[in-house]
Amino acid sequence: MKPNKKGLNTICTHVGELEDKQFKGAISPLYMSTSYAYEDVDIKRYPRYFNTPNQEALCKKIAALEHTEAALIFGSGMAAITTSLMAFLQAGDHIVLQRTIYGGTYNLVNEEFDKFGISYSFTDGFQPDDFETKIQENTKVIFIETPSNPLLTITDLKAIGKISKRHGIVSMIDNTFASPVNQNPIDFGIDVIIHSATKYMGGHSDICAGAVASTQEHIERIYQLAKNFGGSLSDYTIWLLERSIKTMGIRVKAQNENAQRMAEYLYEHKDISQVYYPGLQSHPNYELGKSQMKGFGGMLSFELSDGFNASEFQKSLELIKSSMSLAGVESTVISPTLTSHALLSTEERKEQGIKDGLIRFSVGIEEPEDLIADIEQALEKVRYSRVVATH
């Protein structure tokens, strides 16, 4: 299969559409059947075989978006991550993982890998050398996540691709934060691209799904496990996900623009002491980000100046909701200390550069003026309570 060469929004809207031959409807029909007529030994259609009409169609769209030959859709991002990792690891093998990765991936490795006899090393930093020095004789996979959560650190895709080729091991990326709109890791030599489709692909905080995109050969290998592990997604949700992805290009570009605007506003603000956003020239990885991303994404983090209470600030926001998840069209904030990194000690968090007052901001598609007005009124409230407290 040749990678699709159409432009982003055309791929989002059209690639992989199913034709409604019966009624000539404008959109893909939804096939909910779990039972199909037997065609031959190789084509037995069944949801858990990942080959229902809606699944196959949406996989084409996702593969086209990631410039890969093939893709698979899963019931969650973690199902995609687990199945992809296990397809390339077995007892006696070793994996190198970036030090800061999604909490669920960290828990999978930390809580489950010992019992499968798979050993692992987390890097000390984000530089290519930090990865290469951890590689052992039995290392089979390098796993990265860029931009990272919550400090939006950027890992060098090209360098990681080269290291993995040099050592004959498979490189994998969790590409969720960037989305395929902003970053296509295969173009930089990364082998396996994983998404929590719950985030930017779904984009409306109402779908839980995952995806993996790679070469036909790698996807075939992951598929062999996938049908045994059984983490497929319902066709109804697949159909909803297809609809969501139609607007992903324009949604994410709007979120890129809003996030840039919010990052610049926060950066200039006297009550904000730190802003982490790869689109700011002050970000240590700005140049690297620019070299491998088409947009800097909708995620950023910031710290309030000393004396401001971060949780009071979050409670005072009216338009911007406090929410665990991210990447929806609505803006949300969360405290990593209270959620994704709650299980770490203050010391461990400090080691990772995560201060207790850090706020992660998933920027939506609202008018930026309204987001700014909301932040201003919330700062005003906590500023007032701060003055009262000192008297």
Q: How far is the CB of 339 from ligand PLP (least distance, A)?
A: 12
210 binds ligand PLP (CB under 6 A): yes
333 binds ligand PLP (CB under 6 A): no
Going by C-alpha positions, the residue among 246, 284, 281, 253 that lies closest to residue 267 is 281
SS3 for 259-302 is HHHHHHHHHHCCCEEEEECCCCCCCCCHHHHHHHCCCCCCEEEE
Whole-angstrom distance, CA of residue 166 vs CA of residue 178: 26
Q: Which of 123, 184, 198, 316 binds ligand PLP (CB under 6 A)?
A: 198
Residue 106, sorted as left (phi over 0), alpha (psi -120 to 50) or beta, turns out to be alpha
Helix segments in the chain, DSSP class H: 8-14, 53-65, 77-88, 103-112, 128-132, 157-166, 179-182, 216-229, 235-246, 248-268, 286-292, 310-316, 346-351, 368-390
Site track 80-109 with ligand PLP (rule: CB under 6 A), x = hit:
----------------------x-x-----
Which SS3 state, helix, strand or coil, does residue 363 take?
coil
Question: Judged by CB, which is closer to ligand PLP: 148, or 314?
Answer: 148
For 147-171, b/e burial (b = at least 16 CB within 10 A) is: bbbbbbbbbbbbbbbbbbeebebbb
Provide the sign of the torsion angle of the four alpha carbons 275, 342, 89, 69, taken in this order.
Answer: negative
Which residue's C-beta sits nearest to ligand PLP?
77
Q: How far is the CB of 360 from ligand PLP (least distance, A)?
A: 11
- Name the strands in the sheet holding 299-304, side by side, starting at the edge strand that comes first in the sequence: 272-276, 299-304, 358-362, 332-334, 321-322
Residues 6+ apart with CB under 8 A from 232: 47, 48, 49, 50, 55, 73, 74, 75, 226
- Name the segment binding ligand PLP (CB under 6 A); options: 158-166, 179-187, 191-199, 271-279: 191-199
CA 101 to chain centre: 10
Question: Judged by CB, which is closer to ligand PLP: 64, or 73?
Answer: 73
- The residues in 155-184 that bind ligand PLP, with binding defined as CB under 6 A, are 174, 176-177
Residues 6+ apart with CB under 8 A from 193: 66, 68, 172, 173, 175, 184, 185, 186, 212, 213, 214
Binding residues for ligand PLP, how many (CB under 6 A)?
15
- The residues in 213-242 that bind ligand PLP, with binding defined as CB under 6 A, are none
Distance between terminal CA atoms of the chain?
70
Question: Judged by CB, which is closer to ligand PLP: 147, or 161?
Answer: 147
Q: How far is the CB of 303 from ligand PLP (least distance, A)?
A: 21
276 binds ligand PLP (CB under 6 A): no
244 binds ligand PLP (CB under 6 A): no
Question: Judged by CB, which is closer to ligand PLP: 121, or 339?
Answer: 339
Whole-angstrom distance, CA of residue 170 vs CA of residue 89: 10
Question: Judged by CB, which is closer to ligand PLP: 16, or 210?
Answer: 210
Question: Judged by CB, which is closer to ligand PLP: 172, or 320?
Answer: 172
Question: Judged by CB, which is closer to ligand PLP: 27, or 324?
Answer: 324
13 binds ligand PLP (CB under 6 A): no
- Name the segment binding ligand PLP (CB under 6 A); options: 72-80, 110-118, 221-229, 246-254: 72-80
- Name the segment binding ligand PLP (CB under 6 A); options: 70-78, 241-249, 281-289, 357-365: 70-78
Question: Judged by CB, which is closer to ligand PLP: 52, or 84?
Answer: 84
What's the one-letter identity of residue 89? L
- Name the segment binding ligand PLP (CB under 6 A); options: 73-81, 271-279, 350-358, 359-367: 73-81
Site track 108-147 with ligand PLP (rule: CB under 6 A), x = hit:
-------------------------------------x--
Site residues for ligand PLP per CB under 6 A: 76-78, 102, 104, 145, 149, 174, 176-177, 196, 198-199, 208, 210
